[in-house]
Amino acid sequence: MEKQQKGISKIGLIALVISSSIGGGIFGITSDLSRASAPGPAILAWIIVGIGILTLVLSLNNLGAKRADLDSGIFGYAEATFGKLGGFISGWGYWLGAWLGNVAFATILMIALGSFFPIFEGGQNIPSIIMGSIVIWTLTLLVSNGMESASFINIVVTICKLVPLFLFLIITGVSFKAGIFTANFWGNISTNLLQNTSNTANIMEQIKGCLIVMMWVFVGIEGASVLANRAEKRSDAQQATIIGLVGLLFIYIFASLLPYGVLSQSELANLSQPAMANVLKSIVGNWGAAFINIGLIISILGSWLSWTMLPAETVLLMARDGLLPKHWGNLNAKKAPIYSLVLTAALANIFLLTLLVTDYAYQLAYSLATAAILICYLLVGIYQMKYSYEQKDTKQFIIGSIATIFQLAAIILAGFSYVLMCSIAYIPGFYFYMKARKENGHTISIKEKITMSIISSVAVLAIGLIATGSIQV
């Protein structure tokens, strides 16, 4: 009798969704959000983002149930809509965003460690890069020993990271003062902070400033979908995504808004990272900051583990589907995609050097990561619309339309300059795509050549804008 294949359990998938999303972003969101918005516009932004992410999740679940044959993760939907090149653009963007996110993790992790070990203070020095490199390769080694075993460790880490977050919610909830929260409810300092002018930022500008910050903390919500083919049951991936989303919304909304009732917006905006630790320090003293920093370290390691698994799996599936050369999907004896693991780790390691040349390494890394993945989310929404229209399913078509409009708006309003920068990474990517197509006996169509030429032209434009200082790095 054939032995049943071991897979990732529903609990493991829920932990993956939560752990993939809850990383360093939640620990720094208070400061990043208060620089952009007062509490009133932030609440409106959460409603908008909540609806947008919910429609994305519902789209993923609908497509996962009805198109179970598309088992290539979220880039499979782009391929079903726009062909092989569409699948490559989505998959390459997802992979790019994943390892850029790991660079963001490295930056905030070193800042947290700096609160205990002065050698890492600030998180942007040679010792921080060396330690970040050690963590990158340690996690790569762990995942190379098998994806399912890494998933079990992820469950344990997820539980550990939630404890300090709930303590923070309880303490800030008890310390919350309605008078502080409502004193500057619609904002009168946001523009001063961001643009050094005396004009009052209107509500829409503040909401716009919230989008990229909020979207960053949801990156990873599709984690269960990406690893659906490794689940014990495919339906578990769909349920895990909904359960994970509900839990994340509860934590994110309260963790980001309660501090507005503890410190003023200007005080929150001027907090150093990790802001959550400094908020708790202002309430209970140094032990609170230490406790949050310990939680942050655990949280980052957990998310980093998840985001070591996800990009490796994406590259494996792309190689299997002929979007990347076959050797990119090479497996080791533990059935882990060793080639993609090593390549991803090496690129993240190289990008760590940006910590030495920018004062905003964390914001740059997470903004680029979010922008790259927003493109993938947009293509999911488009396929949800296309498929639902073909099936004459009005309800699902509306869900897909909302998801598409939201992702498109987020790209244009909050992340367009970052999308331009991400386009640069597609130039080497197209080389590997063309090599893979040739390897599989296919030629590049005229339409594909035109599309690659347009994206490459955008990349050249982005390089020029960076060189002239029009886009700040």
pLDDT of residue 278 exceeding 80: yes
> In the prediction, which pLDDT does 121 show?
76
> In the prediction, which pLDDT does 384 show?
94
**CA–CA separation, 330 vs 239, rounded Å?**
31
> In the prediction, which pLDDT does 378 show?
92
289: left (phi over 0), alpha (psi -120 to 50) or beta: alpha
> In the prediction, which pLDDT does 153 show?
65
- The pLDDT mean for the chain works out to 81
Under DSSP, the state recorded for 271 is: P
Q: Please name which of 432, 415, 257 lies closest in space to residue 339, comparing C-alpha atoms.
A: 432
Torsion over CA: 25, 262, 159, 14 (sign): negative
CATH class of 10-416: mainly alpha
In this prediction, residues 451-471 reach a mean pLDDT of 88
Q: Which residue has the higher pLDDT, 10 or 349?
A: 349
Q: What per-residue string of b and e applies to 305-319 under the rule 16 or more CB within 10 Å gives b? A: bbbbbbbbbbbbbbb
Which tokens hold the place of 236? 């578990």
Q: What share of the chain is helix, strand, coil (3-state, %, to 5)?
A: 80, 0, 20
Domain boundaries defined on the chain: 10-416
> pLDDT of 307-363, one tens digit each?
777 777 788 888 888 899 988 888 877 777 888 888 888 888 888 876 666 656 667
> In the prediction, which pLDDT does 426 show?
92
Cα dihedral 295, 10, 377, 412 in deg (nearest 10): -30
> pLDDT of 410-450, one tens digit each?
888 766 788 888 889 899 999 999 999 998 888 888 999 99
- Using 50, 70 and 90 to split pLDDT, how confident is the model at 22? confident
> In the prediction, which pLDDT does 232 show?
60
In this prediction, residues 170-177 reach a mean pLDDT of 92
**CA–CA separation, 27 vs 126, rounded Å?**
24
Give pTM, 2 decimals. Answer: 0.81
Q: Are 389 and 68 in contact (CB under 8 A)?
A: no
Under DSSP, the state recorded for 329 is: G
pLDDT of residue 295 exceeding 70: yes
